[in-house]
Amino acid sequence: MELTLGFSPCPNDTFIFDAMVNGKINTNGLTFKTQLEDVETLNKWAMQGKLAITKLSFGVYRKVQDQYELLNSGSALGRGCGPLLIAKKDIPQDKLKDCKIAIPGENTTANLLFSIAFPEVKQKEVMIFSDIENAVLDGRVDAGVIIHENRFTYQQKGLVKIIDLGEYWESTTGSPIPLGGIFIRKDVPDEVKQAVDKLVHDSLQYSYKHYPALSSYVTEHAQEMDESVMRQHIDLYVNDFSLGLGEAGRAAVDRLMKAAV
């Protein structure tokens, strides 16, 4: 049985799915037609029900929960891993309401966390996450919400952090930060859902056994990213919650969903 599968080309996702999609573990007859896309593209596709299995921002969960359900394995959820608001120079937080802010997608968890922290900010410009640093540097926006590997590069470009939105969430709720998860369409048979969930778990375990070595699948999709940044990326976004959300992980997701209402 072939299933469509979407995830991002970022190292945390390719690290998780490598063994599963490249025949390094036994998939018991399941095969996967993969599409690697920016997470906001995947979010939009999910609202159309396009893919059978997909990585999604938890920020879009409420909009697709009639079509998709969350798997136990594969999530990006933890502490100290949230998006950052950065600028060329420090901006007092009470002045942000007058600023133009770049966000990495309307349906991203990053935008949701920013909106929870600063509900009064209305001037937002949606951009691909990798374009936000340069937009701030060029003065096209006053500040930007950055995710993924940009957490590790913004200071090298002379940019400054205004607020860590993950720290804000943790300090106000005490909960870990749910960033993204792996979802499966509800029309997939239950036994296939269970098999896929186990495969995601086993695929990640396979990658962990070989870590810190990085496979060509990870490095090729990370393009020009330095290998040390790839490992920082994996270490930040892949953890025990990725192997299994458990009660604590699902409680954190529920808390975010309630905050989004």
- Structure-token pair, residue 49: 């029900």
How are beta strands 124-126 and 101-103 bridged, if at all?
A: parallel
Query: Where do we find the tokens 């025949």?
Result: 23
Residue 219 counted as an annotated binding residue:
no
Is 77 marked within a binding site? no
Measured between its terminal Cα atoms, the distance across the chain in Å is: 38
From the list 187, 170, 188, 192, the residue with the least C-alpha distance to 179 is: 170
Q: How far apart are CA 186 and CA 67, in angstroms?
A: 6
| Cβ atoms of residues 163 and 84 within 8 Å | yes
Q: Active-site residue 210, yes or no?
A: no
Question: What long-range pairs does 251-258 form, CB within 8 A, spacing at least 24?
Answer: 251/175, 252/77, 252/175, 252/176, 252/177, 252/178, 253/58, 253/61, 253/70, 253/77, 253/178, 253/181, 255/173, 255/175, 256/58, 256/109, 256/112, 256/175, 256/178, 257/58, 257/61, 257/62
89 is in an annotated binding site: no
Please tell me whether 57 is known to bind a ligand: yes
CA distance linking residue 113 with residue 250, whole number of Å: 17
Rounded to whole angstroms, the Cα distance separating 42 from 50 reads 9
Residue 110 counted as an annotated binding residue: yes
Residue of 148, 201, 221, 233 marked catalytic = 148
As a whole number of angstroms, the distance between CA 193 and CA 157 comes to 44
Q: How is residue 230 written in tokens?
A: 């790839």
Q: Specify binding-site residues for substrate.
A: 55-57, 109-110
Q: Specify binding-site residues.
A: 55-57, 109-110
Give the catalytic positions in this structure: 148
